[in-house]
Homo-oligomer: A and B are copies of this chain.
Amino acid sequence: MNKLFLVSAGPGAKDLVAPRAIAAINTCSDLVAYGLYLDLLGDICIGKNHHDLPLGEEVGRARLALDLAASGKNTALISSGDIGIYAMASLVFELLDQQGGNQHATEPHESQSQWQDVEIEVIPGISAMQAGASRIGAILGHDFCTISLSDLLTPWQTIEKRIYACAEGDFVVSFYNPRSRKRDWQINRARDILLKYRPAQTPVLLGRQLTREDESIITTTLEALDAKDVDMFTLVTVGNSESRSIIHNRSSWIYTPRGYSKKL
């Protein structure tokens, strides 16, 4: 078959995985993923060949998945969230592009690599920002953006330019990879830039291990956002200048209006 599925495992909860993702995994003999994601998916992974590589070995993981598929094994490369959003799908296509000798071409041309017969299917999934928004209301209710704060692959200058653009455009913003063991100042720098443009009381969501057993949901404000409350398992979503915190039925909610109030 030479088929490689790029599978989205969703934020964590089994009942937020699309049936199409489960069906794809069922047709595969080989799974390439962190062990944690396989644990989250549960029984459907039993009896498959598992291939794991240490954190940080993304390139190796993508190559391995392509090699397995090229050797005739139906293979699933699995990422949590949506595999197309800050996950492995982009890297697979980057490898195909480079192997095809396309990197300096102005027109696309046929790949000639050892992976040329691999048939690719991408299966979308629910990303962390959506899981987080759903737990606290509708903070993504109007125009929004996502920014990864990891400067491993993107120069900080580019990231900071995007934070300024996000602030000037008054976008709701979800920060992925807000902090790691070695990166601790980026989220505070992002907060300081946003504070120049939107109110100190702008609602903020800190969602940790979303939809998983040890989920933690904290709602705070932009001025109170601090790196000490954030780790590599946290999604940080900051509202726009019109986002509001309300209490309904003894729970706190955050929503971003689309502007119906003029009509109400």
**Which A residues contact B (CB, under 8 angstroms)?**
10, 13-20, 23, 58-59, 82, 84-86, 89-98, 100, 102-103, 106, 108-111, 116-120, 122-127, 130-131, 133-135, 137-148, 153-154, 158, 161-162, 164-166, 168-171, 201, 244-250, 252-253, 255-264
**Which residues in B have their C-beta under 8 angstroms from that of A58?**
260
* Copies of this chain per assembly: 2
Note all chain B residues with C-beta closer than 8 A to A166. 145, 165, 169
Evaluate whether A138 and B259 lie within 8 angstroms (CB atoms) in the complex, with A165-B165, A252-B108 already known.
Answer: no
Residue from B14, B84, B165, B246 within 8 A of A134 (CB atoms):
B84
**Chain A facing B: main interface SS:** mixed
A17 to B99, CA, bound (A): 35
Given A19-B17, A122-B134, A137-B122, also A246-B142 (CB < 8 A): no
A and B contact pairs by CB, cutoff 8 A, 27 listed: A10-B18, A17-B18, A82-B140, A84-B141, A86-B258, A89-B255, A93-B138, A94-B260, A96-B248, A96-B253, A97-B244, A97-B246, A100-B246, A108-B246, A118-B249, A120-B249, A122-B138, A124-B133, A124-B134, A142-B148, A143-B145, A143-B147, A153-B258, A158-B170, A161-B169, A161-B170, A165-B168
Could you tell me the distance between the alpha carbons of A97 and B89 in the complex, rounded to whole angstroms? 40
Q: Which of B110, B124, B148 contacts A247 (CB 8 A)?
A: B110
CB-CB under 8 A from A102, the residues of chain B are 244, 246
Closest 8 CB pairs of A and B: A165-B169, A90-B141, A145-B145, A153-B259, A93-B255, A89-B138, A122-B134, A124-B130
